[in-house]
Amino acid sequence: MQSFKAFRVFNDDGKIAGRVVEATLDDLTAGDVVIKAEYSSVNYKDALAATGTGGKIIRKYPLIGGIDVAGTVVSSEHPSFAAGGRVLVTGYDLGVAHDGGYAGCVRAPAAWVVPIPDGLTSREAMTLGTAGFTAGLAVVRLERNGLAPSQGKVVVTGATGGVGSIAVGVLAKRGYDVTAITGKSDAHDYLRGLGAREIVDRTSLSMGTRPLEAATWAGAVDAVGGDLLAWLTRTMGYWGSIASTGLTGGINLQTTVMPFILRGVSLIGIDSAMCPMDVRVEVWRRLATDMKPSRLESIAHTIALEDLPRAFATLLGGGARGRFVVQIN
């Protein structure tokens, strides 16, 4: 059987690292659908998994990394998919307990596979990837909770990261007045280009200590967690909603019940990995239509499999801007 390149992660006596190897279809974990991979992407979770940083994410070794993939169906044992169809997979156990998207071919259960909607190329689908899907899911859930552009400012934290960049673009496309919070002073033009109307330097924030601070925001997409998320709970407007998507600023949340019982604030958890399929398909449909960022291409940086270790280091070091898109075939 013809071999293909794959980025496989190994645990060598407790040292976790990945490298490019040759693989065949017979080497892959089982699945109903065989996909010829065209693109994958690099998410914060990928960087943690492939380096062993921040605890155990990959549940068996060796394993091909990559929690995202987009490409064309080669063969399928499931009637929902036929050879030649354009598909993507994000989340579930891909790249965690099941060989992932950093390979020339990927084999996945049909229950994880989503047709790429009209309006997105495979590359655009992976420019979005898990980060973009997470941002899209956050906006969908905020709107289902009542958020609308007429209600006021919406803030995005960690705004130059994958989730943050796409959240800014999605919200701007939907007509929201977006404030972007970032610690990168050289990223203001980048964020304005994505649609942010106001940029706030994270280091200049006066967070205060009161249980409730000035009511400022109608909604928020938070990719940071920790103290910044706690501050958001204190500064939300009446009946405002926060979508919590990430933990780059820490896993602990020190707050009080005051924002929730005196302002009706909602804190919405965003789990993209195990999102129900009907919601997943709807979010992808909207990311291809009314939520598709106007300048999606501007956030993409194309790399090869061999460049993955550098991309992981950049992400973990806080130096990433936008999205790393991995060209497979």
What does the pLDDT look like over 34-51, one tens digit per residue? 999 999 999 999 999 999
pLDDT of residue 253: 95
pLDDT above 80: residue 1: no
pLDDT of residue 207: 87
pLDDT of residue 14: 87
Tens digit of each residue's pLDDT (9 = 90 or more) over 61-71: 999 999 999 99
pLDDT of residue 53: 87
Split at pLDDT 50, 70, 90, the class of 138 is: very high
Name the DSSP letter for residue 95: T
Classify 104 as helix, strand or coil. coil
Tens digit of each residue's pLDDT (9 = 90 or more) over 208-222: 889 999 999 999 999
CA 37 to chain CA centroid, Å, is 19
Residue ranges of domains in the chain:
4-116+295-327, 131-269
Give the percent of the chain with pLDDT over 90.
93
Q: Nearest to residue 49, comparing CAs of 18, 92, 91, 12?
A: 18
Average pLDDT, the chain: 96
Tens digit of each residue's pLDDT (9 = 90 or more) over 149-188: 999 999 999 999 999 999 999 999 999 999 999 999 899 9
Tens digit of each residue's pLDDT (9 = 90 or more) over 286-316: 999 999 999 999 999 999 999 999 999 999 9
Q: Nearest to residue 238, comparing CAs of 205, 208, 277, 266?
A: 266
pLDDT of residue 2: 87
Which superfamily, per CATH, for 4-116+295-327?
Answer: Medium-chain alcohol dehydrogenases, catalytic domain (3.90.180.10)
Split at pLDDT 50, 70, 90, the class of 80 is: very high
* Other Cβ atoms closer than 10 A to 25: 17
Distance (Å) of CA 105 to CA 81, 116, 126, 183, 240: 16, 17, 16, 38, 44
Distance (Å) of CA 184 to CA 187, 221, 224: 6, 18, 14
Asked: is 131-269 a CATH 3.20.20.240 domain? The reply is no
pLDDT of residue 328: 96
Are 305 and 328 a contacting pair, CB within 8 Å?
yes
Q: Which helix (H) or strand (E) holds 200?
A: strand 198-201
On the 0-12 / 13-18 / 19+ scale of CB atoms within 10 A, 68 is buried
Q: Among 47-56, 83-92, 230-239, 256-265, where is mean pLDDT lowest?
A: 47-56
Split at pLDDT 50, 70, 90, the class of 55 is: confident
pLDDT of residue 318: 87
pLDDT of residue 206: 86
How far is it, in rounded angstroms, from Cα 182 to Cα 160? 7
Cβ neighbours of residue 81 closer than 8 Å, sequence gap 6 or more = 32, 33, 73, 87, 110, 113, 115
Strand 177-182 to strand 198-201: parallel, antiparallel, or no bridges (unpaired)? parallel
Q: Which helix (H) or strand (E) holds 11?
A: strand 4-12
How far is it, in rounded angstroms, from Cα 179 to Cα 185? 15
Classify 211 as helix, strand or coil. coil
Are 236 and 261 a contacting pair, CB within 8 Å?
no
User: What is the total residue count of the chain?
Assistant: 329
